Chains A and B, each alone.
Chain A
Amino acid sequence: MRYEAKVALRYLLSSKMQTGLLIGGVGVGVLVFCFMSALINGLTSDQIEQTVGSIPHVTIEPREQTPKVLGAADGVVVLPAILRDNTQRAQIRAWQTVLDSLHADEKVRVAVPVVASNGFIARGQAIQPVSITGVNPEQLSEVAAIGPAIIKGAADLDLNGIIIGARLARNLSIDVGQTLVIRSDRGGQRDVKVRGIFSIGIESLDERVAYMNFKAAKALLNLDNGISRIEVKLYDLDMAPALASNFAASTGLKVTSWVEKNKRLFNAIQGQRSTGSLIKFFSIVTIIIGVSSALLLTTVRRKSEIGIMRSMGMTKGFINRVFVIQGVLIGLLGAMVGASGAFGFTTLVLELAVRADGTLVFPIDPSQGAYLAGIMLATVASTVAAILPARAASRVDPLEAISQ
């Protein structure tokens, strides 16, 4: 093996131009591979962050209640009509247990108990529908980043505090420090003071959601023993569907992952990934074709040397390895050149392609360039590309080469 490597290296060094071009070619292939990875992954992360960043990865809710019909005789069709407002609010009662088992799961980053209901905010004559959301003050920013989005006041949820979105504040012409009345959909009401105003940039949040202290909301909504839902964030959001179905099975609750709630985004991301994979696939195919044809030419050019090595008693395997090693070396060197080039290039794009407002033209992420995968794939590709020329070389008839 050692001597095969020596011959391979000598061959590569003896035609520096060809070797340089080959390494460059593999490098460009890997650069495309890594650049596409950084771009597609960056884009995907960006899209997911924009959507999923402010929503839970998994939401756990009570099952919709269907009242049991007792004593219906055979053949009698009973059509139960449910008057929602007269039934008890849907709620998770054993929520502490569910919360504990969520916290015990290592995939779970955070699980936030929420009490929520529709309601209204009244200020003078103006009335606006809101989605009342009660959370523990310290968990306010765990699901949607409310804290950092505060544009006025503070992210402060004492028992009498409320935090509302910028659009709602504008619609009601209300400002921090002012008092208003919040009413639940069942008639309960409470005086609260506006502590902060946030702007997330998502219309439904900025216009509809009002955050209250968990305990205050519980009292307002008459949820003494239960909560409305648990919002879960995971470390890896791709795990959401699997975790959701596991939890649904083990708790009997209604568990929904972000994927179900954002099918279109999910499909768009899948499509993007496939496009990226296709481009990456072709960059690898290009490497194989390039390396293979160049090495095939080398075997033709080296024919008489191959013949003399065979006549000196070098095995077919020896000749084979000389050429496969050339493929490995070209692949490895080219891949490293390409990967470092891609890292430099994506970093440069990240620095240069910034709009005036500070947002990125391409949401490229140099840290997601899949460099290791690129290097390994290109090396394997280049090695595979060498197999055919190596076989051709090992089959050279020594006699034919010598009598030339």
Chain B
Amino acid sequence: MTSDATMTALLSVAGLTKDYIVGDLVTPVLKGISFDIYTGEFVAMLGPSGSGKSTLLSILGTLLKPTAGHFFMLGNDLTKVGERELTKFRNRNIGFVFQYHHLLPDFSALENVMFPAVASGLMDDVEAELRATMLLGRVGLSHRLNYKATKLSGGQKQRVALARALMNNPALVLTDEPTGNLDRESAHQVMELLTEINAESGTTFLISTHDSEIASRCQRKITIIDGKVDSIETNPVVQHGLAAA
């Protein structure tokens, strides 16, 4: 399906650059990145530490402004959208899973998952609770709904974070080394979940990782080296997402 020329990309990145400016020093980190991602894809972003993966994900997640270039999502040039609009866009269309879970410690697992929907007024309490309960069930945490976030193990926290990222049914989930902070067992669980959810619901994932196991499960691998796209490989064996459904 990625080769289908008639299909418009969900995310289209065109000539993105990013310079970090520290004092008088200008450090170019991204040096012209271009690629497309299509709805339902499961894409890995590989590359050595310091190559600019996190920076790129932050820009695509609308948390950071690029220095030059454009990226389009759902037909919008997000480099041209104002702060308020971007915030709303982020809430509706983008889910994040970071290396550290970043759950709200004073809220329960269920409340954390409900948060993006109820706090923005997207869903009412009943609807949100139903969906959050379903999602927590999906990540295997039905028995931990009312646990305070601080009372959960590392793997459990990351699974809550995944459920939270899926709460508003986003078009794109950006995950930055989601297993980087977990033991092998928990990492494996989270990885399984990511691939399964992609296969079941067709949610599009862009996952930055060092982990060769994750990479081998992806349909495509984008390798970034020194701020440039080094290679884009398609993995012919892997079938996920809408194509597999």
Contact = CB atoms under 8 A, between A and B. Distances in A.
A403 B87 contact: no
A97 interface: no
B89 to A, nearest CB: 8
A266 interface: no
B119 A402 contact: no
Contact of B88 (A7, A311, A313, A398): A313
A311 B119 contact: no
A3 B168 CA distance: 17
Interface stretch (A283-291, A302-310, A346-354): A302-310
Contact of A403 (B54, B89, B96, B104): B54
A362 interface: no
A225 interface: no
Query: Which of A11, A13, A315, A402 has most B Cβ within 10 Å?
Result: A402
> A interface, by DSSP: helix, strand, loop or mixed?
helix
Given A312-B91, A313-B90, A399-B63, A3 B118 contact: yes
B90 A311 contact: yes
B116 A305 contact: no
Contacts, number: 64
Contacts of A314: 87, 91, 119-120
B58 interface: yes
A318 interface: yes
A353 B96 CA distance: 66
A312 B102 CA distance: 11
B106 interface: yes
A190 interface: no
Contacts of B94: 313
Contacts of A312: 90-91, 96, 115-116, 119, 164
B143 interface: no
B102 A304 contact: yes
- Of the four ranges (under 10, 10 to 19, 20 to 34, 35 or more), the interface on chain A belongs to 20 to 34
Nearest to A402: B98
A313 B120 contact: yes
B91 A402 contact: no
A309 to B, nearest CB: 8
B61 A313 contact: no
A311 B103 CA distance: 12
Interface string B55-67: 0001001011000
A103 interface: no
Top 6 A-B residue pairs of the complex, sorted by shortest distance between their CB atoms? A313-B91, A308-B102, A313-B90, A14-B106, A3-B119, A312-B116
28 contacts: A4-B119, A10-B106, A11-B106, A14-B105, A305-B104, A309-B115, A309-B119, A311-B61, A311-B63, A311-B96, A312-B90, A312-B91, A312-B119, A312-B164, A313-B89, A313-B92, A313-B168, A314-B87, A314-B120, A315-B84, A316-B83, A318-B119, A398-B63, A399-B58, A399-B63, A402-B98, A402-B100, A403-B54
Interface of B: 54, 58, 61, 63-64, 83-84, 87-92, 94, 96, 98, 100, 102-107, 115-116, 118-121, 164, 168
Given A305-B104, A313-B87, 6 more contacts: A3-B119, A10-B106, A14-B106, A308-B104, A312-B119, A403-B54
